[in-house]
A and B are shown apart, each in its own frame.
Chain A
Amino acid sequence: EVQLVQSGAEVKKPGESLKISCKGSGYSFTSYWIGWVRQMPGKGLEWMGIVYPGDSDTRYSPSFQGQVTISADKSISTAYLQWSSLKASDTAVYYCAREFCSSTSCYNVIFDFWGQGTLVTVSS
């Protein structure tokens, strides 16, 4: 069974750093892109970026380029999303998700298995 298990909720102050995680199991972790999606309070979903754990290739949405860092450690089947200096506007639920592969193609920009979400609260 494919599972993506995310780290627990975080409460941080503006300016602090943070790294949240997403551990994959039940499939070949190095063979599928992992993406991150943000949902701010009361808002819709936002596609942030993706990482390919096999070689750590990373792609970012323009809005998130330079704002966050996406990475993966294939030795422990875990992807990460990190901030060097949090802002109050980073308060949101963050989801990791695995790329979708049909019988004929893989789509690294849409996702079929999702994590449960990690709530990040940034407040002074």
Chain B
Amino acid sequence: EIVLTQSPGTLSLSPGERATLSCRASQSVSSNNLAWYQQKPGQAHRLLIYDASSRATGIPDRFSGSGSGTDFTLTISRLEPEDCAVYYCQQYGSSPYTFGQGTKLEIK
């Protein structure tokens, strides 16, 4: 089973800043099959990124994904107050498909 470790656990930044969230896999993720989700308080999960770097439908270009192999990054440029959420990565390259434990992003 591939274990995904997200860091930091909590990130506190100001509006307009750039957020960099990390997702590290215990072994290489096949075909860069990695996704990122956002969960805002009281709202449903939202798919942001798939295949490590492709934005899902309707996702603004402030959100970008990068990485390959075992190291992946979600970058949110020009933070807005509405970006306050928990962000999860998920690998779907090999079963069982696993999620990271999440990074909580706080906007000051």
B50 touches A110 (CB 8 A): yes
B63 near A: Cβ within 8 Å? no
Q: Of B92, B95, B100, which one neighbours A110 at CB under 8 angstroms?
A: B92
A44 touches B47 (CB 8 A): no
> Smallest Cβ distance from A27 to chain B, in angstroms?
13
In which size bucket is the chain B interface?
20 to 34
A window 5-48: CB within 8 A of B: 43-47
B42 (CB) vs chain A CBs: closest residue? A116
Chief secondary structure at chain A's binding surface: strand
The number of residues on chain A lying at the interface, defined by a beta carbon within 8 Å of a beta carbon of chain B, is: 21
| Residues of A close to B98: CB separation below 8 A | 46-47
Is there an interface contact between A44 and B44, defined as CB atoms closer than 8 Å? no
A97 within 8 A of B: yes
What's the Cα separation between A28 and B97 when bound, in Å?
Answer: 26
Chain A, residue nearest B34 (CB): A110
In the complex the two chains form, is A107's CB within 8 Å of B92's CB? yes
A44 / chain B contacts, CB cutoff of 8 Å: 88, 99-102
Residues of A within 8 A of B102 (CB): 44
Binding site for A on B (CB under 8 A): 35, 44-47, 50, 54, 56-57, 88, 90, 92, 95-102
A residues neighboring B (CB under 8 Å): 43-47, 61-63, 95, 97, 100, 102, 107, 109-116
